[in-house]
């Protein structure tokens, strides 16, 4: 069953209603007045005359076929006395011979579908005029338009004056329109702000009576690009962009390299600071804070190391122990600050005497110093001890509580030949006994262990 409604032509089949989409038709085919003839065509009345539609084509479209529907329009040139054919549902009839009756405002129109004829010759289309920014172009092209062109107006028609109003046209500007545009009864199209490029404007007549269905006319024109749209300009843009990208990448790499260099410099600086701090800590851990010479820990390490080396090489090892005479009385008489200054002066004097690699001067106790002498014989150790005693006396530091007018030291000397069976404690014990004898014999003297 078919129905012609205000919403379009509808097909009712198998309990389903499908309505023809207006986009599939090249004209408005909505109507309340319609008749079906014996050839499968639907006739509808409208305000612009009678229209004939091939329902087989409509059915194909509703089933998914591509394309559009050509609508044939019959007006005054076909014999109608008035174009308004819209008499309502009671104003139409089909008789037993297949004749169709339509009431119009000009009287009764009788249509014999079997006798309706159309010209077999296709109706040609024509592009009449092309206007650019208000100026008409001469000839039929192709034309080259300036880059500043803004408005392109194209006028066209179908070359059949008798059917000019009923023929349906479609047009397309290739290069701009993605598909054909159904222009209906319009006879001109305008395009604005087109991009530079080549264009082909085509217009075609859609007539359902023709075997081919289409008869096109076309014109060509080219819109020149602005200077900044030319290939050379685009190439310059590309080169500038490439240069900009390269500059950014180069700047970024240079920045990263600078950051890396700065980071490496900071790492080196921090490493040097850490090493210096470690060295300072190591020095502090082995240096006496008051006198600046080695402390007892450094002395013990050096003694153990030189003992092993002397055992391997079978060389003598000398030790000098030094004690400041009557130092407690010196502190009591002059104060602890004077005592500290006295110890620093003695340490500086002793340090000036020993320049051999391997010799170790250390603060052994409160007012005691020790000198470790690798590869040193007993006679050499005794000579070194005498220089120590003389150097302290030469400082000429007054001592109000000593039998001597100046600060003096007592010195004990011992030398041994280390062995793998021996012990460092033996060397220290011998030097300590010699120091005790020097103090017992009157101080300010050197005693060598027997």
Task: Spell out the residues 6+ positions from residue 443 whose beta carbon is closer than 8 angstroms to its own.
Answer: 325, 326, 403, 404, 408, 410
For the chain, how many residues are written?
A: 450
Contact of 20 with 69, CB cutoff 8 Å? yes
Per-residue pLDDT at 121 exceeds 50: yes
CA distance readout (Å), 329 to 337, 349, 366, 401:
13, 22, 14, 6
Contact of 37 with 113, CB cutoff 8 Å? yes
Q: Calculate what percentage of the chain has a pLDDT beyond 70.
A: 88
Average pLDDT, the chain: 86
Tell me the pLDDT tens digit for each residue of 37-85: 888 888 888 777 788 888 888 888 888 877 667 677 777 767 788 878 8
Domain 125-226, classified CATH 3.40.50.720, yes or no: no
Cα(170)–Cα(189) distance, integer angstroms = 11
Per-residue pLDDT at 131 exceeds 70: yes
User: Per CATH, which fold does 2-115 belong to?
Assistant: Methylamine Dehydrogenase; Chain H (2.130.10)
Of the residues 166, 306, 367, 368, only one is catalytic, namely 367
pLDDT of residue 98: 87
Tell me the pLDDT tens digit for each residue of 136-156: 999 888 999 999 999 999 999
Q: Calculate what percentage of the chain has a pLDDT beyond 90.
A: 50
Tell me the pLDDT tens digit for each residue of 213-248: 456 899 999 999 988 888 888 889 899 999 999 999
Spell out the CATH class of 296-448.
Answer: alpha beta
Tell me the pLDDT tens digit for each residue of 256-268: 999 999 999 999 9
- In this prediction, residue 158 has a pLDDT band, given cuts at 50, 70 and 90, of confident
- 5-19, 31-45, 354-368, range with greatest mean pLDDT: 354-368
pLDDT of residue 77: 66
pLDDT, average across residues 268-288 = 83
Per-residue pLDDT at 119 exceeds 60: no
10 Å CB burial of residue 248 (0-12, 13-18, 19+) is exposed
pLDDT, average across residues 360-372 = 95
Q: What are phi and psi of 313, to 5 degrees?
A: -100, -5
Identify whether 188 is a catalytic site residue.
no
Per-residue pLDDT at 344 exceeds 70: yes
| Least confident window among 92-106, 197-211, 224-238, 317-331 | 197-211
Cα(250)–Cα(79) distance, integer angstroms = 83
pLDDT of residue 213: 47
pLDDT of residue 154: 95
Cα(141)–Cα(126) distance, integer angstroms = 13
Tell me the pLDDT tens digit for each residue of 387-446: 999 999 999 999 998 988 999 999 999 999 987 667 899 999 999 999 999 999 999 999
- In this prediction, residue 25 has a pLDDT band, given cuts at 50, 70 and 90, of low
Domain limits, the chain: 2-115, 125-226, 230-275, 296-448
pLDDT of residue 65: 79
Residue of 340, 353, 352, 326 whose CA lies nearest to 407: 326
pLDDT of residue 67: 66
Contact of 325 with 271, CB cutoff 8 Å? no
Secondary structure, 3-state, the chain: CEEEECCEEEEEECCEEEECCHHHECCCCCCCEEEECCCCEEEEEECCEEEEEEHHHHHHHHCCCCCCECCEEECHHHCCCCCCCCCCHHHEEECCCCCEEEEECCEEEEECHHHCCCCCCCCCEEEEEEEECCEECCCCCCEEECCCCCEEEEEEEECCHHHCCCCEEEEEEECCCCCCEEEECCCEEEEECCCCEEEEEEEEEECCCCCCCCCEEEEEEEECCCHHHCHHHHHHHHHHHHHHHHHHHHHHHHHHHHHHHHHHHHHHHHHHHHHHHHHHHHHHHHECCCCCCECHHHHHHHHHHHHHHHHHHCCCEEEEEEEECCHHHHHHHHCHHHHHHHHHHHHHHHHHHCCCCCCEEEECCCCEEEEEEECCCHHHHHHHHHHHHHHHHHCCCECCCCCCCECCEEEEEEEECCCCCCCHHHHHHHHHHHHHHHHHCCCCCEEECC
Q: What are phi and psi of 60, to 5 degrees?
A: -60, -40
Residue of 206, 198, 205, 177 whose CA lies nearest to 189: 177
Cα(365)–Cα(272) distance, integer angstroms = 34
Q: How many CB atoms lie within 10 A of CB 60?
A: 14
Q: Tokens 């080219």 label which residue?
A: 222
pLDDT, average across residues 2-20 = 79
pLDDT of residue 167: 67
pLDDT of residue 330: 94
Residue of 94, 124, 89, 127 whose CA lies nearest to 111: 94
10 Å CB burial of residue 257 (0-12, 13-18, 19+) is exposed
- In this prediction, residue 210 has a pLDDT band, given cuts at 50, 70 and 90, of very low
pLDDT, average across residues 108-123 = 74
Cα(202)–Cα(126) distance, integer angstroms = 9
């Amino acid at each position: 069953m078919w129905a012609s409604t205000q919403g379009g032509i509808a097909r009712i089949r198998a309990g389903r209603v499908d309505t023809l989409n207006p986009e599939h038709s090249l004209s408005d085919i909505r109507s309340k007045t319609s008749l079906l003839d014996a050839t499968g065509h639907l006739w509808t009345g409208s305000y612009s005359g009678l229209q004939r539609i091939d329902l087989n084509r409509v059915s194909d479209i509703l089933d998914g076929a591509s394309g559009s529907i050509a609508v044939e329009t019959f007006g005054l040139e076909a014999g109608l006395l008035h174009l308004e054919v819209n008499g309502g549902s009671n104003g139409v009839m089909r008789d037993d011979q297949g004749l169709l009756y339509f009431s119009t405002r000009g009287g009764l129109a009788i249509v014999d579908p079997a006798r309706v004829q159309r010209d077999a010759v296709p109706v040609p289309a024509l592009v009449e005029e092309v206007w650019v920014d208000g100026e008409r172009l001469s000839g039929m092209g192709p034309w080259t338009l300036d880059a500043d062109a803004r408005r392109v107006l194209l006028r066209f028609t179908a070359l059949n004056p008798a059917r000019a109003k009923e023929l349906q046209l479609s047009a397309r500007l290739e290069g701009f329109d993605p598909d054909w545009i159904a222009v209906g009864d319009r006879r001109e199209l305008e395009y604005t702000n087109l991009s530079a490029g080549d264009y082909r404007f085509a217009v075609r007549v859609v007539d359902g009576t023709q075997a081919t269905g289409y008869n096109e006319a076309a014109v060509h024109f080219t819109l020149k690009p602005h200077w900044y749209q030319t290939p050379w300009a685009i190439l310059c843009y590309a080169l500038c962009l490439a240069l900009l990208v390269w500059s950014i990448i180069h700047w970024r790499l240079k920045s990263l390299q600078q950051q890396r260099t700065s980071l490496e410099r900071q790492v080196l600086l921090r490493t040097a600071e850490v090493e210096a701090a470690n060295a300072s800590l190591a020095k502090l851990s082995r240096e006496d804070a008051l006198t600046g010479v080695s402390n007892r820990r450094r002395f013990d390490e050096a003694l153990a190391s030189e003992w092993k080396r002397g055992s391997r090489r079978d060389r003598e090892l000398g030790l000098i122990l030094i004690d400041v005479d009557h130092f407690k009385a010196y502190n009591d008489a002059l104060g602890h600050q004077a005592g500290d200054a006295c110890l620093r002066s003695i340490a500086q004097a002793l340090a000036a005497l020993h320049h051999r690699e391997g010799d170790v001067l250390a603060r052994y106790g409160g007012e005691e110093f020790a000198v470790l002498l690798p590869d040193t014989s007993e006679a050499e150790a005794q000579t070194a001890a005498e220089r120590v005693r003389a150097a302290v006396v030469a400082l000429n530091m007054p001592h109000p509580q000593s039998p001597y007018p100046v600060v003096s030291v007592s010195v004990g000397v011992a030398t041994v030949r280390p062995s793998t069976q021996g012990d460092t404690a033996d060397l220290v014990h011998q030097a300590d006994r010699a120091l005790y004898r020097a103090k017992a014999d009157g101080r300010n003297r050197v005693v060598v262990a027997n």
